[in-house]
Structure 1
Amino acid sequence: MVPRDYLYKVSRASFEGRESASYAIVKFLEIESTEVSSNGWMLLSTINLLSSGESSLIDCMTAACLPSTLVKCLYLFFDLPDVQKADTLEPGCEFTPKERRVLLQKVFVQVLVRLCSHMSPAEELARKDDLALLFSAITSWCPAHNVPWRKGCVGMCIDNMQRVQELSPIELVEMFVTVFCFLKDSSEVSQVLLDDFRTCQGYLFLTDFLLRMEKNESEEAIQALRNLVLLVGSLTTCGYMELKPSTASAGSLFKIPGFTIPQPAGKGVSVRNIQAFQVLQSVFLKVSS
């Protein structure tokens, strides 16, 4: 399923510097001027097409260790050097270096998101500890020019959930459960993914989805709506940083002699995610039920 030269390039990362290894893999996968010289790009495009297939096909990819290989690549891509001559169109090339990198990033992330929506790739990542590697990669600092590799994962999830029309309300809520669990677990060590979810308009999509669900009077939709509201409620308490009142927001309270701000009695469940709280507030003010 996966050519040996691709797996070999990835395995060499253990013996080379991460920057040089990541660059070698990207040069193999990026589209070139012709299909003849774009073996890696044709391979990735084929995998992208196959990744939208049946679970039996995904199981074959998992048996070939494709999900864990892609995660290892993603981990290395955070150390990529910046694109040189980004907007210069070379003779005989249809895409600039920057366009090639953006195209690779979009297709690569799409493949990874599609695979991870199935059971066998998730089990493989957990079994090989590559799931921990994925968490480490997308919650760690990286140079500004490599941020799209991290943010693209969250953005692609949201985009896929918005585009797919065949999913039932329950199926969409199950997707939200997966995303929220990911956000919640990562928020214990870093604010990065919560920030990415906000930047990718995830909370706006969540608000619109809740308001649309309210208009659906089917029993399934009502149950899905109830579960999702509970999920958003739990998301309000997720966050790496504790929210503190500021002098500007407290106003004259700081001027009262002897006044001290009361300590929260939430026992660990105080609001830490103001964006999730605002989703509940906005929906509460707009719904009619």
Structure 2
Amino acid sequence: LPLGFQAWEQSAGVIVFPNIQLLASEVSKLLTKEIKKNLNGKPAEEARLALMQFLQQKGEAENGLLLLKSVYLLSQTDLRTMWNIIGSGLPAALMQCLYLFFTFPLKKNSDDGEAIEDDTETQEMLVKIMLNMYREEQGIEELLAADKLQSLIIATTSLWDQCSHLWKVPTGRVLRTISKAQTKNSIVYLQAVDCIKIAVQNLFKLADTLPACDVCEAASIVLCFVKDSYPISSALLTEFENNDGYQLLLSILLRCEGLQQNEGDHYLDEILDMLTCLTTCGKTELKVSGNIVHPQLPHFNFETTRSSGMTVKNLQAFQVLQSVFQKSNDQHLCGRILTAIATIWAWDTVNFFLLEWTLQPINQFTDIIHSKPHPVQVQFFRLVESIVLDLSYVPHEILKKVQYLIKENVVPLCTLTALRCLLSMTKKDLLFSDIFRDSGLLGLLLALLRKQAKILRKSAGTHLPGLTEGTEKELNAVMLKMVAALTVKSVRNS
């Protein structure tokens, strides 16, 4: 076996075995048998140590490492060979190994430098074998025999701060692979043991104690199982919802305020992406029953707005995104929420109307946008502008709110950004000359310019602070451009 596999490895798999499927089956059965022998009758920590020693042995006593390497090479050949490996009982045996390696970190000693290096080499082969097996439906079905899948998922939500640091990322990779290959039987199994319920309860405890990036990492694994299972069955999503899963996500996301850039970004983005996907998970189609306020752009016709199927059906999931934006002033977090909303609109034009005629996110955000960081304000008004530019729709209620924001002028830089947004709309179509005259915007701008002229006359010879001076000057310039745009082609406005 050693010489055969050494030659095969060096020949890049060109050497052909007479019956590679039989070889794969026998080698995998032997590895499974040896793993069970090392586990049998031992306490968990002792079994973990025995397993790692068996799989890392060097020199003459390297049977475990040789068997592992043999299966590793065979697992990369073809599907029929993989089915023989799966049929050996190895999926369940390796899941038991992964559970022990993740849950019970090795105790450090003076010689642990070499052990960690060996551990990494063995780990890579173990993980790749598992990834190859668990991508297949047969691999998932065999895995359920071990009854360790639920234990490992629960362990990630209860022992994240006590587990082996070296096995965190590999365990996440393996569980995500299993999640993507879920079957009806695996979902029934997870539901029967209240896996999602227990995981959510554990995460509520972690959410108050662990650093935000760690909680995101642990929560993203559970959310994968909820999202990926939905096309097959809604059972895990229902279990998640019935145990305050959305409240959990809201708590976790709000804890991400103030995270340093790139700190836990990947897992935060993953949670937000999955939550965005969950907004389309629901059995009942929402009805668009709002009234279209006129006037509208000539080429807008709501009756011809057709659904692509990616419509919002889960308002609870969207409410988490909406609540995070309303409660947070974190630039990165608020920016990601606006990006998620833009993505939902891009999936289906109908989604803008479904959301604005139910939860009114953009309408409500306009009331608080002045309190957000300036980059978020810029992103928000680009989103408002896209309603007109991309959807060809005039959102009268939202524009009234924007106009009120300009009138109040609480934060001049925000007012300037809002005014630029309206100016861009005005340039799109002459209709806005009538809309903004009838709404009182033209009169408001003329009044503000007169007021500003008086201030400038009174302050002649005095110097205003730099930022205020620059912003006020630019605001006056944009107000003048806006008045010009509203009057240039409108006799009535002139």
TM-score range, shorter chain: 0.5 to 0.7
- For residues 41-190 of structure 1, the aligned pairs below 5 Å read 41-77=65-101, 78-86=103-111, 88=113, 96-141=114-159, 144=162, 146-155=164-173, 188-190=200-202
In the alignment, what sits opposite 1:196? 217
Q: CA deviation at 1:52?
A: 2.2
Tell whether the 8 Å contact from 2:86 to 2:142 is kept in structure 1 after alignment.
yes
In the alignment, what sits opposite 1:207? none
AA aligned opposite 2:45: E
Tell whether the 8 Å contact from 1:243 to 1:271 is kept in structure 2 after alignment.
yes
Distance 1:64 1:39 in 2: 18
Kindly tell me: are residues 152 and 239 of structure 1, through their superposed partners in 2, closer, same or farther at Cα, counting changes over 3 Å? farther
Q: CA deviation at 1:68?
A: 0.2
Q: Which moved more, 1:19-28 or 1:191-200?
A: 191-200
Q: CA deviation at 1:15?
A: 1.8
Distance 2:29 2:166 in 1: 27
In the alignment, what sits opposite 2:457? none
Question: TM-score, normalised on structure 1?
Answer: 0.55
Distance 2:135 2:154 in 1: 20
Q: CA deviation at 1:116?
A: 0.3
AA aligned opposite 1:45: K
Give ranges in structure 2 of 5+ residues lacking alignment: 1-25, 207-213, 222-230, 232-239, 258-313, 325-332, 347-378, 391-494
Deviations 1:176-204 (A, max 9, x none): 686xx99x95863554897337999xxxx
Q: CA deviation at 1:83?
A: 3.8
Distance 1:138 1:50 in 2: 30
In the alignment, what sits opposite 2:485? none
Name which of 42, 57, 72 aligns with 1:16.
Answer: 42
Kindly tell me: are residues 29 and 55 of structure 1, through their superposed partners in 2, closer, same or farther at Cα, counting changes over 3 Å? same
Deviations 1:127-165 (A, max 9, x none): 55343234234434056561332321334788x9xxxxx
Distance 1:37 1:278 in 2: 59
Distance 2:122 2:42 in 1: 22
In the alignment, what sits opposite 1:280? 340
Kindly tell me: are residues 114 and 185 of structure 1, through their superposed partners in 2, closer, same or farther at Cα, counting changes over 3 Å? farther
| SS across alignment from 1:132 | helix
Deviations 1:38-78 (A, max 9, x none): 22112112212222232221221122100000001111222
Tell whether the 8 Å contact from 1:190 to 1:240 is kept in structure 2 after alignment.
no
- State, as a whole percentage, how many aligned pairs show the same letter: 18
Tell whether the 8 Å contact from 1:85 to 1:97 is kept in structure 2 after alignment.
no
Distance 1:196 1:8 in 2: 33
Root mean square deviation of aligned Cα: 4.9
In the alignment, what sits opposite 1:243? 250
Number of residue pairs matched?
A: 217
AA aligned opposite 1:61: I
In the alignment, what sits opposite 1:30? 56
Q: Which moved more, 1:72-81 or 1:134-143?
A: 134-143
Kindly tell me: are residues 27 and 121 of structure 1, through their superposed partners in 2, closer, same or farther at Cα, counting changes over 3 Å? same
Q: CA deviation at 1:267?
A: 4.7
| SS across alignment from 1:271 | helix
Q: CA deviation at 1:111?
A: 1.5
Tell whether the 8 Å contact from 1:126 to 1:132 is kept in structure 2 after alignment.
no
Tell whether the 8 Å contact from 2:31 to 2:68 is kept in structure 1 after alignment.
no
| SS across alignment from 1:188 | helix
Deviations 1:201-244 (A, max 9, x none): xxxxxxxxxxxxxxxxxxxxxxxxxx9xxxxxxx9x96672525
Q: Which has the larger radius of gyration?
A: 2
Tell whether the 8 Å contact from 1:83 to 1:98 is kept in structure 2 after alignment.
no
Q: Which has the higher contact order (CA 8 A, sep 6+)?
A: 1
- Give the helix-richer structure, 1 or 2: 2
In the alignment, what sits opposite 1:230? none
Distance 2:35 2:110 in 1: 25
Kindly tell me: are residues 189 and 148 of structure 1, through their superposed partners in 2, closer, same or farther at Cα, counting changes over 3 Å? farther
AA aligned opposite 1:188: V
| SS across alignment from 1:270 | helix
Q: CA deviation at 1:6?
A: 5.2
Kindly tell me: are residues 195 and 74 of structure 1, through their superposed partners in 2, closer, same or farther at Cα, counting changes over 3 Å? same
AA aligned opposite 1:22: R
In the alignment, what sits opposite 1:91? none
Distance 1:138 1:52 in 2: 28
